[in-house]
Amino acid sequence: MLLLTARKSWLDAIHMLGDPLISAMYWFAYISLELSALFLGISFLIGLITAYLPPNKVEHVLSKYGKGLFGNFLGSVFGGLLPFCSCSTIPALIGLINVGVPFRIAMSFLIASPLGVFNLAVISLFSVMFGPRIALLYIAFTFFGATFTGLLLEKFNLKSYLKKVRVVGGNNQIETDASEGGKLWKLKQKMSSSWAFTKSLYFRMIPYILIGVGIGAFIYGFVPEDLLSRYAGPSNPFSVPVAAAIGIPMYVRTETMIPICYAMTEKGVGIGTIMALIIGGAGASIPELMLLASIFKRKLLIAYVSSIFAIATLTGYVFNFLTSFLIP
C-alpha cells in the first residue's frame, strides 16, 4: 500500500509538469525499472518451483488424486501455478488427456493456466500496479471460474466433442543422482538452472513488457482523461462485455496488458472494464483457438469461448460494483 501511495504521488508530481512528452517519458522510465526488478525476482522463484515440479509429476498427481471437486481444485491450482501462455498450454492439455486425467480437470487446467491464477509474476504485477485487494479478488474469481467451468463442461457432456489426439514420445525427465554431490550440490544445480531460466525468460519477455509500458506511457501522457472515462468508465454498463469481447481475439500476454491497463485506470477507465479486457485477452486468443480447433469439435470450442467471455464479464461487473472498496 505504501508503494502504491508513493508511486501515485510521484506520478502526480511529474504530471503537473504540464508537458505530455516529459510526463510520458518519466512514466515509461519509472514503470519499466519497477517492473524489471519485480520480474527478475519473481521469475527466479518460478524457476525454482518448476525445477521441483516438472510436468510429468503434475500429470501423475492429477491422474492419481483427481477425484470429485478436489480434482478440479487441483487442476486449477497446477494450471494457475505453471507459467504458460494461452498457446503453450495446449501441448500440456494434450499430455494431461493422454495420461488419463479426467476431462473436467483438464479443462479447469486449460482455463486457469493462461489466466495466471497463481502465477507469481502475474499476481505480483497486479499487486504492484493495482494493489493487493484487487490481486486477491482476481485470484478468487479466476480460480473459482476455472474450477466450476470445468465441472459444467463435463456436466453438459461436452467431453464427447473432444477429438482423439495422441502425441508420439513422452515427457520423461532425467533426474539428477543425489549421490553425485549431496543435497547442497543438487540445490546449487537447481538455483543455477533457475537463474538461467530467469535470464532467458526476462530477455524473451522484456520486449513485450516494454511495448506494454510504452503504450501505457502514451496513454498516460497524451490521451485526454475525459475521453476514456466517458466511454469506458464504471458508469457505462456496456463497457464490460465490449471489453471482454475485444480481449478474446487479442494475442497479448497478461504481463504486457497490466501496465497498459494501469495507465487506462489513471485516465478514468473502470476497473471492471480493465479486468474484463485482461481476462478475455489472457483466456483466449485467435492463435490459441486455432490450436484448440485441432483437438476440439465446434460445439466444445464455442462452449470454451463462451466460458471465457462469461468469466470475464461477470468478474468485470463485480469489480465495478466493488470499485469504492478496491481502489485506495
Closest to 284 (Cα-Cα) out of 304, 303, 258, 257: 304
In this structure, what C-alpha cell is assigned to residue 105? 480437470
The reported pLDDT for the residue numbered 292 is 85
What residues of the chain score a pLDDT lower than 50?
1-4, 167-180
The reported pLDDT for the residue numbered 241 is 92
3-state secondary structure of 89: helix
- Phi and psi torsions of 296, nearest 5°: -110, 135
Could you tell me where the DSSP H helices lie in the chain? 2-15, 20-52, 55-65, 68-81, 89-98, 103-115, 120-130, 132-155, 182-222, 225-232, 239-247, 254-266, 271-283, 286-292, 298-321, 323-326
Angle between helices 182-222 and 20-52 (to 10 degrees): 160
Q: Which helix (H) or strand (E) holds 290?
A: helix 286-292
The reported pLDDT for the residue numbered 167 is 44
Burial class from Cβ neighbours inside 10 Å (0-12, 13-18, 19+) for residue 144 reads middle
Closest to 265 (Cα-Cα) out of 215, 229, 230: 229
The reported pLDDT for the residue numbered 4 is 47
**Side chain identity at residue 157, one-letter code:** N
Instruction: Give strand pairing partners of 296.
Output: 162
In this structure, what C-alpha cell is assigned to residue 78? 497446477
pLDDT, tens only, 181-206 = 567 777 777 788 778 877 876 786 67
pLDDT, tens only, 110-161 = 999 888 788 777 788 788 888 888 889 999 999 999 999 999 999 999 999 9
pTM of the model: 0.70
The reported pLDDT for the residue numbered 180 is 47
Q: What span, in angstroms and rounded, lies between the C-alpha atoms of 84 and 113?
A: 6
Contact between 277 and 252 under an 8 Å Cβ cutoff? The reply is: no
The reported pLDDT for the residue numbered 199 is 81
- Phi and psi torsions of 52, nearest 5°: -95, -5
